[in-house]
Amino acid sequence: MLSLVTVAAVPEHRCFIDGLDNSSYGYFPWNKEDFLHSIPLTSTGDLDSCRMFSSAEGNSSIPCNAYVYDRTYYETSRTIDWNFVCNRRWMGSIVQTIFMLGVFTGAVTLGGLADKVGRKTVFCWSALLQLILGVAVAFIPEYFSFMVARYFLGIFGSAGSYICGFVLTMELVGTSKRTACGIAFQAVFASGIMLVAGWGAVIKDRQILQIVYGLHGLIFIGHWWLLDESPRWLWMQGRCGEAIDIVAKGLSTNRSGIPIDKDYFLQKAKMQQSADDKTSAGLGDLFKTPNLRMKTLNVCLCWFANSLVYYGLSLSSGKLKGNPFLMLFIMGLVEFPSYIVIVFILDRLGRRSITSTLMIAGGLCCIVAANMAQGSSASTAVVMMGKLFIAGSFAVIYNYSAELFPTVVRNSAMGLGSMCARLSGALTPLITLLDSFDPKIPAVTFGALALISGIWVMFLPETMDKAMPESIEDGENFGIGDTWFAQCAGRRESTELESPEQMVPLKTMDKK
């Protein structure tokens, strides 16, 4: 997702001046005295990045015919190869937008597919295609073909592998382990950001760098043999014997010493089967009933706002003053304190209050940073604080969403949330282009949406220490009347499901 920050990095640049330059590379800051007669100054007193004087008299300026790039940190990049700066800057932003639209497409299609054919199937095939495309994209020399490859990489790499992997993780563990596993999943993503920065600092050739990024997909190969399918999904599909075998395998691996009566649970499953097929539920069922519909819309906005701020801050790391690789590395590193704290407090304070508080805090940081001197140490510190807060809320919303929605549509719901997140992710590079009108616009936009969503999250029910709903009926009944305001007024309703008998095997698994 963030590979273009290095592979397509935008270094400092200016016009190529005949007679003064003999190469397309130089070192920033430029010696202004040498170029005062060739390049106009900006309002801040710096050399203009995109224009040059049309004549020696300096009466008017014209766009650059060619560019000189700062090679202090970057030897090559897609931006340098294709001159995606100044009036072509939008073409670089579109590449990231196309990738996010690929993730959007994958969230729409693969989320529902995983609810039909299984989490493991979609995860493993997506992982294989991610490996192939991640390496192949390094060899594409043409712009439009590059965009197409990035589009498909978004479909399988993020939507297929990431979302299915997360859902599978949450469904393989019980209530007491959901927080640790969910947050650890997000922490590995932050480690990936640090790896993007680390490899970028070491490998200067953008083609080799992309190949190295793509080859990380080799880690997935072993999952074809090592990974189990979700027992929750198998149970809801009527494949109860397979589900029980996986739970029994888990009990044995954990050396719990607890036997499991397979015949008892198979008999229980037959008694629970109703005339209608519960496995036919799909994305549309999230909007059919009022309580489930309101939760779905609320969560969708939450994903949208979190992604907008998260990627807005991450993609703008190259604009912060200093070593861009160090800035990106710190962008990943600052997430860890947030994750560590969340692991300890999430099962004490609950999902709702933490998500809301962190989103509001992250939104305020964006707005404050927008009104500070750009590039100053104070501004950079506030941006990093905003990243810390929003990374925490983004991590919690993954757990929160998985716990709010029933098993029969959980992957579809996570896919819908991811779809909203990637829609905002696709808009993020375009919103950052608005800084051409006013540098404050992108950050204020990010902050305002985070504040609005943070307040609306207060109307969601709490899921801490609650059994995950299984059927559509469970999902509709879950959390009715339970809001932050009702809790403060002492009227908190129970979010326990009315029919725990439907989930005896899964509750038994949770307790183990």
Predicted local distance difference test score (pLDDT) of residue 494: 47
Please state, in angstroms and rounded to a whole number, the distance separating the CA atoms of residues 268 and 505.
9
With a cut of 80, say whether residue 320 has pLDDT above it: no
pLDDT (tens digit per residue) in 439-473: 788 888 988 999 999 999 999 998 888 887 888 88
Instruction: Give the predicted TM-score (pTM) of the model.
Output: 0.76
CATH of the domain at 361: 1.20.1250.20
pLDDT by residue (tens digit) across 367-390?
A: 888 888 776 788 888 888 988 999
Decide if pLDDT at 360 tops 90: yes
User: In the predicted model, is pLDDT for residue 26 greater than 70?
Assistant: yes
Instruction: Determine, yes or no, domain membership for 246.
Output: yes
Domain match, 353 and 386 both = yes
What local confidence, expressed as pLDDT, does residue 318 receive? 58
Is 330 a member of any domain?
yes
> Do 433 and 397 share a structural domain?
yes
Q: Which of 18-22, 172-176, 193-197 has the highest mean pLDDT?
A: 193-197
H-state helical runs in 118-177: 119-136, 143-153, 164-172
Is 302 part of any domain?
yes
Last residue of a domain, one of 43, 64, 85: 64
> Percent of the chain scored above 70 by pLDDT?
91
Kindly write down the DSSP assignment for every residue of 388-417, as one continuous string: HHHHHHHHHHHHHHHHHS-GGGHHHHHHHH
pLDDT of res. 32: 78
Same domain for 468 and 358, yes or no, is yes
> What pLDDT, on the 0 to 100 scale, is given for residue 125?
92
Question: Are both 244 and 296 inside the same structural domain?
Answer: no
The yes-or-no verdict on residue 505 having pLDDT over 50 is no
Output the pLDDT for position 34.
81
Q: In the prediction, which pLDDT does 104 show?
A: 82
What is the domain count for the chain? 3
Q: Where are the alpha helices (DSSP H) in 203-289?
A: 206-215, 223-226, 231-236, 240-253, 262-272
Q: Same structural domain for residues 328 and 373? A: yes
The one-letter amino acid at 30: W
Residue 10, pLDDT > 70, answer: yes
Range of the domain at 245: 231-267
Q: Is the dihedral of CA 85, 88, 93, 96 positive or negative?
A: negative
313 and 431 part of one domain: yes
Calculate the average pLDDT of the chain.
83
| pLDDT on residue 464 | 85
The pLDDT tens digits of the residues spanning 110-121 come to: 877 887 888 888
Helix axes 351-370, 441-456, angle to 10 degrees: 160
pLDDT 10s digits, 33-64: 888 888 888 887 888 899 988 876 667 888 99
Is there a single domain that holds both residue 357 and residue 434?
yes
pLDDT of residue 346: 85
